[in-house]
Amino acid sequence: MVRSGGRGWFGKVLAAALGVVAVAVLAAFWNGQFGSTKGQHAQSGKSTPPAKAPAQPQGGRKSAPVSADIAHASDGGARSVNITIDDGPDPTWTPQILQVLRDNGVKATFCMVGPQARAHPDLVKAVVAAGHRLCDHTVSHDVTMDGKPEAYQSQQILDAERMITEASGGVRPLYYRAPGGAFTPYSRHLAASHGMRPLGWNIDSKDFERAGTNAIVTTVKDEISNGPTLLFHDGGGDRSQTVAALREILPWLKEQGHTFGFPVR
């Protein structure tokens, strides 16, 4: 009886031990095949290190980065030119320039001043609806901002970006043009970190001087070999000469074998 009792006790212990081992094996199998949510992600493919976020200037926020180099080239090829329009939108001149562009089947890039965009959201939306692109031209159009603190440059660029985006109904500017070309390394990298390519120009039509329609047309024709990006204005004063000049320049450019594109991104 004692021996029989001993064997029964031992058998129970052995069975219990085997049960524990079996549970452990099943648990290991289950975790290996299915695992937790974390385990699923770990086994979903080859292990790759997490992508490093691009360096952000102070005050920047995450966005698709673009080159911080100042763009001049056109995305349309060797014979393509970029029409860029600065300082608007303006309720008198922007609609007229939009009409001239429409009549000639030309798309342009509009570099807008933030408060102007905020004051005329209908014009910003009209520019976008017509297939043109938006560009950030700061809040105050301060041509001396390259000598100002970085905090000031940031405020000028990012506040204008926000104003333009809100006025457009959510379409963000794709470029940043410093007033008077007053770029700094900081402002270029800040704009690029927000998805806005710094944008220069090759030909200044000098329409801002209002020297006459013929003078604007002659300047463009004389300097067209300088490069593809042309600068005009739809804000900052009377732009009737610009409207008239574009009516001549756009057909002439086509006659010369030029096409029209956007600045490279």
List residues with catalytic annotation: 86, 233
* Alpha-carbon gap, residue 77 to 144, rounded angstroms: 34
Backbone φ and ψ of 3, nearest 5°: -65, -45
Instruction: Map tokens 């390259």 to a residue.
Output: 146
* Angle, in degrees to the nearest 10, between helices 240-255 and 93-104: 10
- In single-letter form, the type of residue at position 33 comes to Q
Instruction: Map tokens 């806005």 to a residue.
Output: 196
* Alpha-carbon gap, residue 229 to 248, rounded angstroms: 17
Instruction: Map tokens 């807008």 to a residue.
Output: 112
Burial class, 8, CB count within 10 angstroms (exposed 0-12 / middle 13-18 / buried 19+): exposed
Q: Who contacts 2 (Cβ-Cβ below 8 Å, separation ≥6)?
A: none
Burial class, 215, CB count within 10 angstroms (exposed 0-12 / middle 13-18 / buried 19+): middle
**83 and 109 Cβ atoms separated by less than 8 Å:** yes
* Alpha-carbon gap, residue 104 to 126, rounded angstroms: 17
